Structure 1
């Protein structure tokens, strides 16, 4: 019981610090640099935490952003992906763009996290065209 409580406290402190540092780490970096904040290989110190708990805590931690307000889904997505990975799970960080914004001065983009193909952190929005999945799945060769 105490071990579970200690694990949850450590997780919440780690998540809180990561959420506060995320705006600085993302800054105005390019897409490839931002994806490095969503590592494909990481230790799994939070393996004993349920994914539902992790998702709930991520959403709660970023619900009142004072930085990255215009990129809230990116912050939530990166944190969700990262901490689900650290729980030993295999999430996907998906990115989409609003097709209507393709000819606008500023592209409207969105990201969300899926587990087993189902959205768990945010979701695709109407009009969004998925353009990238991290990690990109390789199709098996045809037999």
Structure 2
């Protein structure tokens, strides 16, 4: 299934809101991932030994900001392999965190239709990242 023009416009418009404060929303995104799935801390060398969700960790802030700008090939270089994107595991956690982050960023503009648009875009992005990771690791 493809993304409709309307869905694309909704995602672009809401992304413009998120871009107004990328540091805040990218950190919120990663914080939500860690709240939903605390074991995800083990995927980050700078968080492995922490016992709590590090809301003010400078390395997490820097990583969060960078992630919003990177390509799937970087995931391979950091050993984030295909199992991390499996539908029943991290894929759902990351999707939930992203949708919650954008929802919070756009506030009252959020709707079921926008949720559907972001869900579709996320699903296609996750598929593209997985495909890129397979190409890079081949």
- TM over 0.5, shorter chain: no
Structure number, greater radius of gyration? 1
Q: Give the TM-score normalised by the residue count of structure 1.
A: 0.29
Higher helix share: 2
By relative contact order (CA 8 Å, sep 6+), the higher-ranking structure is 2
Q: Give the TM-score normalised by the residue count of structure 2.
A: 0.30
